[in-house]
A = this chain, B = another copy of it.
């Protein structure tokens, strides 16, 4: 395990234009509008339990939305995101809204601590009868993460107290004891929350319960079988057909292929990595590494999208990565960031940071619109125009995953040990880090990801020896660095340059990362990308989009292999971005009138291809989009 630990986002100020804009948008638009949507769709109302509860209330609710068993989680996740926002900027209105929710939850909580509004409102007698499908512990997990975040942001612990009572009930209910249920949630998440609660409180019982849930998963006789039989069902009638769906097909330590529902998988692997670190558990660490290799070598989109199939919101066979029908749920890319960060703290290896960065700038960031109020749930890499952002969703999980990620993004930039600081991401941040030699102020300045020129001012309170580690991204093939203008030898260890010296106030490190526009090729086994190239620059995956192509369908464009790729700074687009441009051809359709096939190739015209960063697509109206551009 590495000695590095993340620096909490609250201690990292975002100064750079790129993340400052995203953060401001989330603070001013996303968080308030998400609360409004929770209200409009009856989700907040679902917390207001009648007393006594009616026997059975049927979906859909008065708002026309089907009541979902996971709504508690959405409220919890909004509170988490809103609390991260409060850490940046207190806001009485938002706090009042959270307090009102806590009022409802306080009233709803059963005398024994149980707190699941769906069950309490509808089937109070049926609690804990369908862990496989009904998300009770998942909901608790997100509620708990919200309560922890709210406590950390405001110091108010009423919500946390409520949830700790519920956790105490869960700890009584689940465990290895003879009178306990030997179960675990069909949707992993509680494990991550319990580990956070352990970090907050130091109460080892939370860590043990998380470890119990993880290690009990997949044990035989299978808990979900027994539970189905107890409900009078035949376990073989399970709608998802396989427990791979919830990664409970076998014990987690025996799992070596990434399978099933993508978000469930990523939350579980994140918890496994957390436990590997906390318990110094080399078996869990090894399982994580095996699963990591599998997903990276056979199942990840270039955007870091995960899970090609809508049917299981998850994984299929190796190399099955269709573009137009890619599911690639936003939540899965967000959760991949969680997992990658944890792997990075098991081993400070740039390969994990590379994936973290890739997921952040592409698969995750695309989930939130420029205006901060529209979302992608699934993230295809090609669209014929049907795929558009939505203002809300019957399953709004992705919305709050986007907002909580952006509101806490500073936490991914750097880590510290007793005598070293490691920079993983760049983009303009400032933070004060306490090392064993004292406090050091770091000010990183760059216009990353638009440019690879990075400057870091290092200001210890007094001269002190410590190491500054700088990640040189895996995509970068030519990097140089200097301290106070003197070049540093570029000896990298697992992707990091280490500058170990005595620093004093006024020292400055510069890092130059060459960031050319590049063609990227896929493994030949990825049939969907055959004969195609993706365009990348730095961490950003690019795409062709209709507005930059005069309304032509972008799938009609071809990029010759030898065409020069140029970069262009475009102040007119999205407050300033870098586009990629190339001279290629466009297939003409005007001579295809009444037939689909012919013996002569399509007529072509010279045409300019203009690519924008993938995360920005579909902010200018519906239309075609393409990541993997055919060569030709």
Contact = CB atoms under 8 A, between A and B. Distances in A.
A560 to B, nearest CB: 12
B589 A300 contact: no
A520 B589 contact: no
Contacts of A594: 293, 296-297
A384 B527 contact: yes
A530 B544 CA distance: 15
Interface string A408-447: 0000000000000000000000000000000000000000
Contact of A631 (B386, B553, B632): B632
Contacts of A530: 555, 630
A596 B298 contact: yes
A519 interface: yes
B589 A523 contact: yes
A72 interface: no
Contacts of A589: 523-525
Contacts of A601: 519, 521, 561
Contacts of A241: none
A558 B531 contact: yes
Contacts of A521: 597-602
A556 interface: yes
Nearest to A601: B521
Nearest to A602: B524
A630 B530 CA distance: 7
A564 to B, nearest CB: 16
B297 A518 contact: no
Contacts of A525: 553, 555, 589, 592
A535 to B, nearest CB: 11
Contacts of A208: none
Most buried by B among A317, A325, A527, A589: A527
Given A524-B556, A587-B524, A534 B597 contact: yes
A302 interface: yes
Nearest to A475: B599
- The oligomer's copy count stands at 2
Contacts of A592: 523-525
A38 to B, nearest CB: 27
A630 to B, nearest CB: 4
B524 A297 contact: no
Interface string A27-67: 00000000000000000000000000000000000000000
A592 B423 CA distance: 29
A196 interface: no
Interface in A292-346: 293, 296-298, 300, 302, 317, 319-322, 324-325
A350 to B, nearest CB: 14
Contacts of A556: 524
Contacts of A285: none
Interface string A504-526: 00000000000000111111111
A89 interface: no
A593 interface: yes
A595 interface: yes
Contact of A522 (B532, B561, B597, B631): B597
B555 A524 contact: yes
B531 A630 contact: yes
A545 interface: no
A395 to B, nearest CB: 19
A535 B59 CA distance: 54
Nearest to A474: B595
A74 interface: no
Nearest to A598: B521
Most buried by B among A477, A522, A556: A522
Interface string A552-584: 010110100100000000000000000000000
Contacts of A297: 593-596
Contacts of A599: 477, 518-521
Nearest to A600: B521
A459 interface: no
A80 interface: no
A382 interface: yes
Most buried by B among A531, A589, A593: A531
Nearest to A321: B596
Nearest to A297: B594
Contacts of A317: 384, 386
A287 to B, nearest CB: 17
A599 B475 CA distance: 9
A518 to B, nearest CB: 5
B596 A522 contact: yes
A302 B597 contact: yes
A302 B384 CA distance: 21
Nearest to A299: B596
B532 A598 contact: no
A63 B520 CA distance: 53
A427 to B, nearest CB: 23
Given A302-B597, A325-B325, A531-B532, 6 more contacts: A293-B594, A297-B593, A300-B596, A477-B599, A523-B596, A527-B555
Nearest first, the 8 A-B pairs at minimum CB distance are A524-B587, A531-B630, A531-B531, A523-B596, A521-B601, A523-B592, A297-B594, A530-B630
28 contacts: A297-B594, A297-B595, A298-B596, A317-B384, A320-B384, A322-B324, A324-B527, A325-B325, A477-B599, A518-B599, A519-B599, A520-B597, A520-B599, A521-B599, A521-B601, A522-B596, A523-B589, A523-B602, A524-B555, A524-B589, A524-B602, A525-B553, A530-B555, A530-B630, A531-B531, A531-B558, A531-B631, A531-B632
